[in-house]
Amino acid sequence: MCSNLTNSSCITADLAHSDRYLASAVVYGLVLTVGLPLNTLSLWILLRTHGFRSPCAVLMVNLAVSDLLLALSLPLRVYFYATLRWPFGAATCTAALIMFRVNIRTSCIFITLISVDRMVALVFPLRSRSLRTSGCALKCCAVVWILITTICIPEITRLYDALKGCPNIPCFEIQAVSRGSRVVSLSQAIFLLVLLLVNIVSTVVVVLVLKKRPSTEAAKVNNKMNVILIFVVNMLVFIIFFLPFTLTLLTYNEKDCGETLLVLVCLASVNCCLDPLIYYFSLDSFWQDKDKRQTDVGTYSLSRSMERF
């Protein structure tokens, strides 16, 4: 089945039963079962244990909120692919589609900001103290949400106008191929590739810096492996879940039914289950050292930086 979104036609389609629809319902159901409780628990721990007292905690809270938005839209996806019916109207379909797009865009940005924050804390532990503040992180997050919301407004209008009044909406099978959406897709793909490059550079810099640290100083790092694993998880999220989706956006053919793209959308939704690993590796170090305070500026290292996380 192929449903193309235009600015002037009502979108309807006859959905034939397919193994892909059943597989999509199963995958989205598993993501919902794992992702919703994990991200709810992660958000509760972040707010209860650390609040907004550190820049990394601020970024993680926003990442958890972004993942929760996606998780809350998954019951609708499960229902649609299990029944191949959409009785909820155009407004609900538009909201569910936009929540996925918001998650992809904001998750990429927040994960990149977390990597950059850690890299700066490691490479410039003293000079970055004035920059790495909760206030600065809150402002960055506010800019991200405002920017993404602004980008989504024309998409919301276009989607709703095309869907309203349609009797049999194939909601999550819609392929948006109008000129405006094509420009947005290409821009999003290029932007995600830039963020991936930033994550690669941050990871390489961190690995090189940790290798150069003498063994006596490296011993002061709470858990050197945890530090590296944070960057590894960030890279895995990008490479496994976002990169295939991004490359498909770049090569998407409007004449194609977009079966591959729909499968990769399903894969990309799994990212909300992996993000809590980022919180675990960071909070593990925080719990270990939350009662420790280093007073010797000469020994200030990543352990102090992780303590601020």
pLDDT band at 287 (very low <50, low <70, confident <90, very high): very low
pLDDT band at 238 (very low <50, low <70, confident <90, very high): confident
Greater model confidence, 24 or 306: 24
The CA-atom distances, in angstroms, between 258 and each of 3, 178, 187, 263, 265 are 9, 14, 18, 9, 11
Instruction: Kindly report, residue by residue over 170-194, the tens digit of the pLDDT.
Output: 788 775 444 445 677 777 788 888 9
Radius of gyration of the chain (CA): 21
- Comparing 31-35, 51-55, 112-116, 202-206, which segment has the lowest mean pLDDT? 51-55
DSSP helix/strand/coil, 175: strand
Using the predicted structure, report yes or no on whether residue 32 has a pLDDT greater than 80.
yes
Average pLDDT, the chain: 76
pLDDT at 15: 57
What is the arithmetic mean of pLDDT over 51-79? 88
pLDDT at 213: 64
pLDDT band at 17 (very low <50, low <70, confident <90, very high): low
Q: What is the reported pTM?
A: 0.80
Q: Could you give all domains of the chain from N- to C-terminal order, each with its CATH number? A: 17-287+299-308 (1.20.1070.10)
| Rounded-to-integer distance, Cα 229 and Cα 206, Å | 11
Residues 6+ apart with CB under 8 A from 148: 102, 105, 106, 109
With 0-12 CB in 10 A as exposed, 13-18 as middle and 19+ as buried, what is 118? buried
Instruction: Kindly report, residue by residue over 75-105, the tens digit of the pLDDT.
Output: 999 999 888 888 888 889 889 889 888 988 8
